[in-house]
């Protein structure tokens, strides 16, 4: 970025969004405020109102940016052959850890204009890869998937369950509810996914008849 005049900032919008991330990273969403953000951006305290109207406006824009970023991240996640959403899930939790300030605002409807069309659109686009991964897998497996249904499986419910699980992992991680095992986020998500699959396979057999097949991971 080239040197600008002291008066006109040049890209204050960008600077304010960056300052927002910095403030939230240091003090949490509760520590956020227009004056504090302006201070960090090296600008008068009334300047943010010019770009975003009010605090909610700034945070809404910040959340939109977060969802857009999440969308590209998830869309770029690799699809693993044995589990169509594992790659997306790993990317999701990584995003939450790597972009904590964004993530924390994105799911705080009390602090954002929750009905903002741009926000809703960005969110819908962002989470699409979760369902898309499942449908792609359905097609690839040779079973023409009627909408929302594959071999009798409610795909929407599966997608919601997968979303909930990775979202829960992200939230529990960020709130310090998962003891640090020293493993990477990727390893953690893989471990949970593998264990869950194994448990389902081990226990889904009708009661009374023990399964002959050992658990998948064996």
Task: Give min distance, CB of 8 to a second copy, in A.
Answer: 34
* Residue number, 25 or 50, with CB nearest to a second copy: 25
Q: Which of 29, 33, 79, 136 binds DNA (CB under 7 A)?
A: 33
- What single string gives the DSSP state of each residue in 93-133? HHHHHHTHHHHHHHT-GGGTTTT-HHHHHHHHHHHHHHHHH
Q: Which of 10, 12, 36 is nearest to 25 (CA)?
A: 36
Task: Give min distance, CB of 10 to a second copy, in A.
Answer: 33
The answer to whether 58 and 37 have CB atoms below 8 angstroms apart is yes
22 interacts with DNA by CB under 7 A: no
203 interacts with a second copy by CB under 8 A: yes
Which does residue 128 touch among a second copy, DNA, none (CB within 5 to 8 A, set by kind)? Answer: none
Which does residue 82 touch among a second copy, DNA, none (CB within 5 to 8 A, set by kind)? Answer: a second copy
Measure the CA–CA gap between 48 and 23, rounded to whole angstroms.
Answer: 14
Contacts 24+ apart (CB under 8 A), 24-28: 24/100, 24/101, 24/104, 24/105, 25/100, 25/101, 28/104
29 interacts with DNA by CB under 7 A: no
Q: Which of 64, 66, 165, 185 binds a second copy (CB under 8 A)?
A: 165
List the interface residues with DNA, window 36-95 (CB under 7 A).
36, 38, 43-47, 49-51, 54-55
Q: Which of 69, 68, 58 is nearest to 112 (CA)?
A: 58
Residues of the shown chain interacting with a second copy in the complex, contacts defined by CB under 8 A: 28-30, 81-84, 107-111, 114, 123, 134, 137, 141-142, 150-155, 157-158, 160-169, 171-172, 175-178, 191-204, 207, 210, 214-218
């Amino acid at each position: 970025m080239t040197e600008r005049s002291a008066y006109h900032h040049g890209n204050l919008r960008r600077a304010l969004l960056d300052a927002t991330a910095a403030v939230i990273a240091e003090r949490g969403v509760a520590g956020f405020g227009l004056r504090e953000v302006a201070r960090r951006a090296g600008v008068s305290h009334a300047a943010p109102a010019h770009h975003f109207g009010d605090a909610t406006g700034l945070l809404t824009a910040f959340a939109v940016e977060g969802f857009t970023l999440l969308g590209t991240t998830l869309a770029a996640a690799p699809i693993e052959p044995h589990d169509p959403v594992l790659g997306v899930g790993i990317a999701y939790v990584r995003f939450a850890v790597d972009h904590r300030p964004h993530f924390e605002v994105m799911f705080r409807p009390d602090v954002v204009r929750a009905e903002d069309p741009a926000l809703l659109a960005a969110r819908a686009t962002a989470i699409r890869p979760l369902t898309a991964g499942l449908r792609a897998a359905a097609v690839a497996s040779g079973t023409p998937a009627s909408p929302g249904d594959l071999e009798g499986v409610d795909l929407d419910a599966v997608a919601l369950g997968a979303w909930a699980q990775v979202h829960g992992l992200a939230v529990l991680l960020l709130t310090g509810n998962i003891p640090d095992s020293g493993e990477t986020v990727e390893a953690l998500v893989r471990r949970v996914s593998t264990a869950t699959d194994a448990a389902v396979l081990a226990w889904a057999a009708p009661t009374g008849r023990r399964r002959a097949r050992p658990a998948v991971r064996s």
